[in-house]
Structure 1
Amino acid sequence: MFHLRYLFLACFMCLAATVSQACDEWFLEKKAVAGGSGGNPHFDVMCDGSRVSEIQLWLRHGYVTGLKVRWSKQDADGVFNTTQEKSYGSTNGFATQQILFDPNELITGLTVYPNQNPRRVKQIVFQTSMDRKVSLGVTAGIADGKADANVGTGYPVGVWVRSGTEIDSFGMAFIREPERINLNVDTYPTLKDARPKLKNMTPVCVPVRRNEETTVKLSETRKHVDISKWDWRVGLKLGFKYSGKAGVPSVGETGFEVSAEASFGLGHEWQDNNERTLVAEMTKKFPASTYEDFKAAGRLDSFTEVDENGEPLLNVLVVPSYYEANLDLPYKGTMELVYRDQKKLSWPVSGTYTGVLASTVNITERYVNVCPTNVQN
């Protein structure tokens, strides 16, 4: 019988989603601008999945005269290639400096310092997820009015620049970090959809000794790996891990662990591996009087195989089984990102529930003279 009261269910929802590549300004963090108000304004953001991968500075007379910004994007083979370069100000400085970002490196801190007079950008300081702190520009004579960025997810997609022949002000744009993520599912799998099936575990055969308690331990582990591909337009990282058991202790228990972690980058395609492990365990004890009870009842008289003392061999053959259902079932719903100002970004999603549904372990036992040759001892 399939005992619903002993079911234990866990699902990891494999999402597949696509959102518009339009770059709505409210979707960006862009508050770190420092410097003067001269020059012409530039706001350059790449919304096709590219990220800022390199910034080069030209310096002269204690401030920044020019900037070159490079964007890169991951191709189908996982290689990052330059997608766009833009220059601001002039390149007639007497020194150059640059910062290169690793494809997986996020910006965890950004501070922009102005010069005193004229009001220009003097220094830009980056802190990154790879424990780097990089200062570009001139450190001496920094004026008040620095700007600290709200870096959001740390994924840089653009720059804010005012420039003429010099860099008057500088800031960056990052993908915003959502305050919460809602998944509204419209369709759910049912037990009928899962179609539980009876699964046999590996049989065990052990000897029953005179005046000794006999213990049989059974364990079965099944592993399954789901490989999914994701194509997201938001910077996001999700982690999931759960484990547990269900059943009746000392009679039969089942347990499983589902663990998965997926990283999503703006416009990149990622491969997600979800490993599911089902562990079915039980311990069965037979009393020390079992052998004597069988002998007194004459149930050993027909046994032909004997032990070293000439006593008939008595073995117990235990065959365990349980019900299992794989929940590789489709669903549809809506994914919603909610931000601090309560603005929302939502889009339809579809995917597959993956998990394991298992019942308590059932066993059948049989006493035999000789254990089968293909059974574990």
Structure 2
Amino acid sequence: MSYPTTLTLIGGNSGGAFSLTGEHNGASLEKIGVWVGGWQVRGVKVWLSDGRVQGFGEAAGPYQEYHFQAGECFTSLSLWGNGEGTRLGAIKFKTNQGREFFAKMTDWGLKTEYPIDVGSGYCLGVVGRCGADIDHMGFMFLNAVQSAVLTNVNYPTMNQLIPQVAVEGIKSISFRNDSSNTQKQKVVTSKKITNKSSWSVSESLTKTFSLEVKASIPKIADVKVGFSVTSGSTSTYSQEQTEERTETLSTDIDVPPWRNVDVVITIGRAAFDLPYTGTVQITCKNGSVLQYETQGTYKGITYTDFKVITNESAL
């Protein structure tokens, strides 16, 4: 059976179990601090991208830490035991930013190096056992990734949203009919519009993988009492989507005999934030899937259809 994560534990088997990972929400390792002793790694402190922080073992002895940048991943990792099979002895890794971290016990020399499979390089956190020292520990990695998708997107408060729409006049024209016959006039206008959509997702994830979104994009509808938000059809988008296009309107206007007709064409523009819920599905190249529920904010800029307003008056 294939799994979406990989984990190798190095050290002894004493102490109590610990785990701090983003296996269930996609959070990644953001920062790690390590304390070392003469013959062991004494303690570690771990920060995840979702804000969780936890220390294991004892915070005593020489200390060093490493802070990962957004999108920074492991390219290699080696772990050592302390040579007696009782404790973790050293941690060494390199990243795709060309940086390196190496923390090792200060008195005992290193013996067997264990190169660790880092999968995709995206580290979800750490797992191990500890008491006063780090008995054993490993880093949990996401395996090589085939695709990452945000799907099952819902907007639970969409029906409660009252959009603030800025109405812009596109064209204004008047027609005069001095005859006894109805005249037909054609009005043509166009406007370049830019629709924008984005779904907030963990920066550590979007800086590392290309995330697709399968969702409907909320749209603005002009109704009798103002404007409302409706849901369009579901399609596939990038996590930050910009669509530029030119909208063109061609409409016929009837001008009755001995009348003036004033024509105004408008369009509405709305920008809004909308909470969403959804599911992140990360499919690995080995066929396994890491899936978890998520929530965030949809930010959109969208336009209404053209609106044609006519006003008829006597000559």
- TM-score, normalization by structure 1: 0.42
Greater C-alpha Rg: 1
Structure-2-length-normalised TM-score: 0.50
Q: Which has the higher strand share?
A: 2
